[in-house]
Amino acid sequence: MRDLSAGPRVLLKRLRELMAEPLEPQERLDQIVRQIAQNMVAEVCSVYVLRSDGVLELYATEGLNPDAVHLAQLKMGQGLVGTIAASARPLNLSDAQSHPAFTYLPETGEEIYHSFLGVPILRTGRALGVLVVQNKASRTYREDEVEALETTAMVIAEMVATGELKKITKPGLELDLSRPVTIDGASFGEGIGLGYVVLHEPRIVVTNLLADDSEHELGRLAEALGSLRISIDDMLSRRDVPMEGEHREVLETYRMFAHDRGWVRKLEEAIRNGLTAEAAVERVQSETKARMIRLTDPYLRERMHDFDDLANRLLRQLTGYGAKLSASSFPNDAIVVARAMGAAELLDYPRANVRGLVLEDGAVTSHVVIVARAMGIPVVGQAAGAVALAENGDSIIIDGDDAKVHLRPLPDLQRSYEEKVRFRARRQEQYRALRAVEPITKDGKAINLQMNAGLIVDLPHLNESGASGIGLFRTELQFMIASTMPKAEEQEAFYRTVLKQAGGRPVTFRTLDIGGDKVVPYFRAAEEENPALGWRAIRLSLDRPGLLRTQLRAMLRATAGEELRLMLPMVTEVSELREIRGLLQKEIQRQSKIGEQLPRKLQFGAMLEVPALLWQLDELMAEVDFVSVGSNDLFQFAMAVDRGNARVADRFDLLGRPFLRMLRDIVRAGLRNDTPVTLCGEMAGKPISAMALIGIGFRSVSMSPAAIGPVKSMLLSLDAGKLAAVLEPALDDTAPTVAIRQLLTDFAADNGIPL
């Protein structure tokens, strides 16, 4: 072969001309392989494209038998071509037939060729096919020849990605880029959503691949790298970035990558071979990702995400690309797909158009998950690979009930889910018809059904659901979606709006539950190994009383002349309530002193979430006006189960005897102290567990708005006394033969109770 020092540039120039010509896809591909063969003085050049069934099909060749085009096939991992596709790495062989993976395809006539160079056709780290050159003489191809072939493979990757090759794909078959994919994740929010993918931070689609002036492109790269390094240094120098901890480690990793000479050298080399600066970044990023994506070491895989994010930042520097879709181009049925995102970022999207959220990371307690559930949309988290596999505009189904994401679903699956959605809509119509019906059991027990909220966007659900009031208003969500600490005046205006929209129905405000895993962007605490059990909620409020006093002042002003119901989260000892009451009393005295109107009635309550309070129940009931059981935290603390850990989250049953006995003790303590008790966790929102709560004596529960209809439908058919007569002895049974969940299911079936 001749010297290729100028070869890649000549070849890329000719390929650019071919891409601009009005040619049919097959003719364009045939001319591309012909040009590659001529430029590299190769006797064979072939393109294999990966289909959705895992088969690599010969799409074009120069040198092999032309009749083999669209007939010759290799499975992923089969033969040299299949090995390259599976590993996403080049193969450079002087004697191809001696390689253990070699597979002879008689229809191609390739037995006379010995030397073989094959490179994967990559896009975002995914192999879309394989590009091959071959020669009769035995030789090893030089590094610059490998580089040249990898560069030209990008052009073919773009043809695959843009869908041009679909026109020459056999009827009934699809290319791999459009194959249906099902991703298993974790259910963070129930429901089903059908729509189209909106990538939260979409990959930069590089369309300008080939450069006229390499020196100009090298200058653009140097300038963009300089800006990127400065931005990282600026982030590291900010006061809110701690000197130690995970946040700083990530930024330090970014800085290390940004200054890595090996990475920069690869980028410069790709530009000198004829690529634009952004195409060089895309190519090196894709190759690095293809190598790292198969790693099993979690630390190294995390570094892959860091590198991927850094490369995307550099692409944005080069292209000036804005990540968000404009309102006009935002689909009506959008499923937002993201690695991770903040709560405020989700609220930036047109809320009426968002039908679901898919996250690669996150936990059920993530801020964005709480907001998404408040918006009433399904959420699937821990959906590994969703961002890399999806493209903007792909059809997608999110199943928050079964924790699955169906990307580019087959028509039969699409129709099946459409019917499910119609069925759910019919049921919702039935539930809406119950809005004005009083929630009273068959044997005359009145049940107070309230809803949980935390944002203004939640409040229309109060009328839609028929809830009697808001049993839990999470005030921290206002802080979590703000970029700076809300001032007292802003908090006051917010609480006034909540009360106004509640229309006279009671609202129970929970004071700030921040800290631990609920870190607001402008209030950074030290890293904690176990944040759920750490410095959060009332503990933080007692250590930072100015924060709480500002909130109490805003609540007192907002409820002037009305009822103020406030409760404190994460109470561990009754003495903490007395300290907070003292702070509240100071604010009341301050308001009176300056002549401001006070609430006409004040109800002071506590959340029962920490098991230690179970041994202070009578003291607790005497100290407060009401108690609200936070079943989510109480269950995880009592059973030592992290709700965000998929390995143990479902290990113990909410309806197990130990937990139901705890809850029954709380109800009994409320009755003997004449203190109202409500339960406001996920447990209240499932008909079967709500039935259990009524059976052990709860008469007030608070849940998500969407759950009120199903729970009301259940209780209207329930004889609470009859259930209690069955459930009470079963809870006391010291040698049980049947699980409580099964007992409840059987009772519902025998008595015609809808679950």
Q: What is the pLDDT of residue 213?
A: 84
DSSP-derived pairing of the beta strands 115-123 and 44-50: unpaired
Give percent above pLDDT 70 in the chain: 87
**637 and 702, same domain (yes or no):** yes
CATH number reported for the structural domain that contains residue 611 in this entry: 3.20.20.60
Q: Which of 20-24, 121-125, 491-495 has the lowest mean pLDDT?
A: 121-125
**Residue of 82, 90, 87, 151 whose CA lies nearest to 119:** 90
Q: Is the pLDDT of residue 288 over 80?
A: no
The structure's pTM equals: 0.64
Pair 90, 151: CB distance under 8 Å: no
Give a yes or no: residue 595 inside a domain: yes
**477 and 539, same domain (yes or no):** yes
Q: For 376-415, how does the pLDDT look when each residue is reduced to its tens digit (9 = 90+)?
A: 889 999 888 788 778 888 899 999 988 999 998 888 888 8
Would you place residue 2 in the very low, low, confident or very high pLDDT band (cuts 50, 70, 90)?
very low
**553 and 698, same domain (yes or no):** yes
Name the domain count of the chain. 4
Q: For 27-42, how does the pLDDT look when each residue is reduced to its tens digit (9 = 90+)?
A: 999 999 999 999 888 9
**Residue of 64, 143, 149, 45 whose CA lies nearest to 109:** 64
Stretch 133-157: mean pLDDT, rounded?
87
**155 and 267, same domain (yes or no):** no
Backbone angles phi, psi at 366, to 5 degrees: -60, 145
Give a yes or no: residue 743 inside a domain: no
Question: Per DSSP, what are the bridge partners of residue 123?
Answer: 126
DSSP 541-600: HHHSHHHHHHHHHHHHHHTTTSEEEEEESS--SHHHHHHHHHHHHHHHHHHHHTT----S
**540 and 627, same domain (yes or no):** yes
Q: What distance in Å separates the CA atoms of residue 713 and residue 430, rounded to the nearest whole number? A: 9
**406 and 468, same domain (yes or no):** no
What does the mean pLDDT of the chain come to?
85
Stretch 676-688: mean pLDDT, rounded?
93
Pair 584, 604: CB distance under 8 Å: yes
Give a yes or no: residue 76 inside a domain: yes
**168 and 196, same domain (yes or no):** no
**Residue of 157, 180, 247 whose CA lies nearest to 519:** 247
Stretch 404-427: mean pLDDT, rounded?
87
**164 and 153, same domain (yes or no):** yes
**418 and 466, same domain (yes or no):** no
- Hey, is 27 helix, strand or coil? helix
Which residue segment(s) compose the domain that 138 sits in?
7-178
**332 and 293, same domain (yes or no):** no
Give a yes or no: residue 65 inside a domain: yes
CATH number reported for the structural domain that contains residue 346 in this entry: 3.50.30.10
CATH number reported for the structural domain that contains residue 136 in this entry: 3.30.450.40
**695 and 629, same domain (yes or no):** yes
Give a yes or no: residue 753 inside a domain: no
CB count in 10 Å sphere of residue 615: 9
**100 and 150, same domain (yes or no):** yes
CATH number reported for the structural domain that contains residue 236 in this entry: 1.10.274.10
Give a yes or no: residue 99 inside a domain: yes
Give a yes or no: residue 226 inside a domain: yes
Give percent above pLDDT 90 in the chain: 45
Give a yes or no: residue 138 inside a domain: yes
Would you place residue 240 in the very low, low, confident or very high pLDDT band (cuts 50, 70, 90)?
very low
